[in-house]
Structure formats: structure tokens, C-alpha cells
Amino acid sequence: MITAKDIVLAIEKNNFNAVDLVTILELTVYNLDINTISEMARQENKSPNGVRISNQYRKIKIGKQLLCVKGVTDSNLPF
């Protein structure tokens, strides 16, 4: 059985092409509650600044867009 660790290591070793990586990203996004800071604030009836400083959302930057993931706490680790 292939584990998440195996997939992460394969990505790190560049074993996937761009199409494979985009497919993995799309499948991941469909299974997470991930939105921009503003959209998450609207959904949660909070202010964007409240969501931005909250540790209850993991913040990730994709391209130039800052996104947050609901249900994963922000641990302030470098990865």
C-alpha cells in the first residue's frame, strides 16, 4: 500500500511531472476546506484580520495568494 509519506518523498525527488502534480493538487483541494482569507471570513462570520491572526487556520501561500485551511491549526513551523 502506498502511504502519504511515499507520495511526499516521490514529490520531493521530482518523480512526478507537472500534470501529475496538478492532479494531486486538485484532488487535495477538493478534500480540504481551503479558501482565501476573505472568503473564509465571510463563511465564518469573522473579520479578515481575525482569520489572518487566528491559529485555528493553517495559512499557506500559493503563488501570490494567501489561503487558509479550516480544521488544521497553524503551528508556525517552516513547512
pLDDT digits (tens, 9 = 90+) for 14-36: 999 999 999 999 999 899 989 99
Say what the pLDDT of residue 72 is: 87
Residue 47 has pLDDT above 90, yes or no: yes
Residue 38 has pLDDT above 80, yes or no: yes
Say what the pLDDT of residue 39 is: 96
Q: For residue 71, what are the contacts with CB-CB under 8 A and spacing of at least 6? A: 32, 33
Distance of alpha carbon 73 from alpha carbon 12, whole angstroms? 24
Residue 75 has pLDDT above 80, yes or no: no
DSSP reduced 3-state for 74: coil
Query: Model pTM?
Result: 0.74
